[in-house]
Structure 1
Amino acid sequence: MNRRLAAERRGRRAERIAAWWLRLHGYRILGQRVRNPRGEIDIVARRGRVVAFVEVKARASEKELETAIDAYRFRRVVAAAEVAIPQYCGERFDARFDIILLAPGRWPRHLTNVWHAGQ
């Protein structure tokens, strides 16, 4: 199996784990791998009046997670979410940007509300 295909499989598995983690914590999954002209959102989930646009990152070790996402990468997720906000939030829900970090042998780490407008 080539490296790209292996990475794709790992990414899909990480997204499935993250979606289940969110469900177990009271979120309803509204979409996965949501694509639009500005990019892709790994998971869109809602709990109460908040819709979370979630980026999922999995790495081989917890140490590698420290550099898994930076401002440039996350800005791409925010750009994609900006296009999707009207569809998923409308006027009834507040939008939030989250990250879920996964490493073998560790519980998922859910970082909430990690991005604020104007960053």
Structure 2
Amino acid sequence: MTRRKAERRGRAAEWLAMFYLMAKGYRILGHRCRTPFGEVDVAAWKQGVLVIVEVKARNTYASGAYAVTPMAQDRIARAAQVLAGRWRLHSAPIRFDLVVVGASWLPRHERAAWFSERLG
């Protein structure tokens, strides 16, 4: 797959994931949020929790889950701390979710897909 095609597929997956999350009652706070530590695909809010969502467009759920390496998790956790400060949500709990979007099935949403030592 070409780089351009992969980028388009990823953007479409992010939009599908956001609509899916909104249908489940999440309020989207940001999309493609840039920080000095990297980009967060989707930031959402639900029931007093800041939810940081990594979106993967993959053919299987397993390949999407394995694509979020420990190094990526650490980067996302650092970026989440920056966003929490930017939005004055220092005291809000942060949860890291994963949404994997496939070609022929609904997005699969994994709540609390990982935990960060960085956040205690």
Q: Which residue of 2 aligns with 1:18?
A: 17
Contact 2:77 2:116 in 1 (8 A): no
- Unaligned segments of structure 2, at least 5 residues: none
Q: Aligned Cα RMSD in Å? A: 2.0
Contact 1:59 1:68 in 2 (8 A): no
Amino acid at match of 1:106: W
Percent sequence identity is 36
CA distance in 2, matches of 1:91, 1:61: 35
CA distance in 2, matches of 1:112, 1:48: 14
Deviates more, 1:45-54 or 1:91-100: 91-100
Does structure 1 residue 105 correspond to structure 2 residue 104? yes
Which secondary structure state, in structure 1, belongs to the residue aligned with residue 34 of structure 2? strand
* TM-score normalized with structure 2 length: 0.85
- Unaligned segments of structure 1, at least 5 residues: none
CA deviation after TM superposition for structure 1 residue 87, in Å? 2.3
Deviates more, 1:37-46 or 1:65-74: 65-74
Q: Which residue of 2 aligns with 1:41?
A: 40
CA deviation after TM superposition for structure 1 residue 51, in Å? 1.2
CA distance in 1, matches of 2:74, 2:91: 24
Deviates more, 1:18-27 or 1:78-87: 78-87
1:21-69 deviation line (CA, Å, top 9, x unaligned): 1000000111000001110000001112111011001113445335322
Contact 2:84 2:90 in 1 (8 A): no
Aligned pairs, number: 118
Cα gap change, 1:96 to 1:63, in 2 (>3 Å): closer
Which secondary structure state, in structure 1, belongs to the residue aligned with residue 43 of structure 2? strand
CA distance in 2, matches of 1:41, 1:66: 16
